[in-house]
Chain A
Amino acid sequence: MRRYSREVEENIRAERQLREWARSGLLASDVSASLQAEVSVDLRRTNDALRLTLFAFTAVILIAAVWLFGELLGVHDSTSFAFIHAVSALVSFGLADLLVARARLYRFGVEEALAIGAIVLLAVSAGEFASPDFRVTSQILFPLTVAFAAGSIGALAVYLRFGYLLAAILSMAAAAAIAFPLVESRVGERALAASVFLLVFFIAKETRRPHGEDYPGDEYGVIQTIAWFGMYLVLNLRLPGGGEFPFAFYWTTYALTWLIPIIGLTMGIREKQREMIQANVVLAIITLMTNKPYLRMARHSWDPILLGVLLMGVAILFRRWLAKGPDNAQYGFTAKRLLAADLRAVQLAGLASAAIQPGMGSHSSPSSPALKPGGGESGGGGASGSF
């Protein structure tokens, strides 16, 4: 079923790791190069920058081509649009398959955009087939259910065929999203969506177990983590899109917003599963940020200071504790950098931080009242003349 054999996937991962070990000084460059030759595969690949650009351009072309097709045929009714979208989905999927088979593309951007585009087109087509009034907001519930269901099945097919993680995530998200138009009760929709995520989590966790970080365990690990993350987002009622809920459900979810990160972090640490650790740290921060709204307490301007002190304090204390262990490690965990990729990730964050400037007021001064506080259009973390 899969377009790429297990051996190919394993060799690609081995090649990446060999390159990373050479960069990290664990292997000499010539040794790494000779071993890379041993595991090299006959597939066309490219770097992330070109891959992303190719993905974006192909996606735009696909959308434009489908609309153009509809315009040229003079189509205006939903059923005809549904037919065009269905045909386009098939053509798009077929093209992706052909490019992989004939051009031997692997994560090249073009074939990925076509395959992901096919999922979206299929979902839209199914929704339009389900109701001629698909675009009428008040009657959208049934078509939406059908669209999500078709999208979920289509995305699963794309994942099974090409192994794109994005497709697996879309499949899971669409399956969970079915609950919202399908179930009338607000409690029921949240509970059903969370159950879908939890089910996927357990399936991925069990399937991953025999493989660990080796292929396909690495893919299952990401799916498992996203499912866990999704379950939390659905159950945290104080995130945007919340509202009023029955007393028991409200306080149960409150308890869960604390329990999920704690349990997840425990699992991540026990299995040394990086994505679970990172995701649950983020969830813990979200829990801290939504705690006061949950308790219906007023937020204060010093809350971010307390949160920041807590985050920095935890990091400093944890680092100190690790440094006290033999060879700067405790139970195998170390604060030291082992791979060059870790440094690159932090450097990238440093570059990206140019877009997020802390402690910035506006660039207005008391003598320029026309400029209101809260701007910062020019960027800059510099002094501001107004608070």
Chain B
Amino acid sequence: MRTSLTSAVEARRRFEQIYAANHAAITGYVLRRTDNPDDAADVIAETFLACWRRLGDVPVGGDTRLWLYGVARRVLANHHRAGRRRTALADRLRADLAAAYRAREYSSELATITDAFRRLPAADQELLALAAWERLTTGQIAAVLGCSPNAVRIRRHRARRRFTALLATDQAARSIDGHATNGDLA
């Protein structure tokens, strides 16, 4: 009994450490990929629920966050497939996010970038976003996606080509308005 109590305390302590170190990153990851705070709250809650459920499987060190990204990615995919599934657990989080979340307004140049990005296949978007938004390296992205680093390199090459082509098309379609610059696109 004592052993199980100790184990429960240790599990709780470990989860709290994981949660403290990663909640901001996971909240950011999910908010960047959802259209509204309601969905985001559910996905965040479900991701950490999965972490609690499978605490024994969660890798240690820097891999913890990659594991959580991978879980959040799958929860998001299921969420999109299954539609909205409100959870009681997420209610308070939902209220916080609803109060703080503001949809972004884009300048014309950023609107062009955003439009091109959103027209990419979902897999391309995720691959590029993991590098741009989560600042993950090739090896880290491979760990999140569950494929080899070289496969990431190949897929990223294709995604960048498609994105560049879309961006060029969009830029060509946009009239020069005196604000247009692609000086940041390198």
Co-complex (A, B):
no
Q: Which B residues have a C-beta under 8 Å from some C-beta of A?
A: none
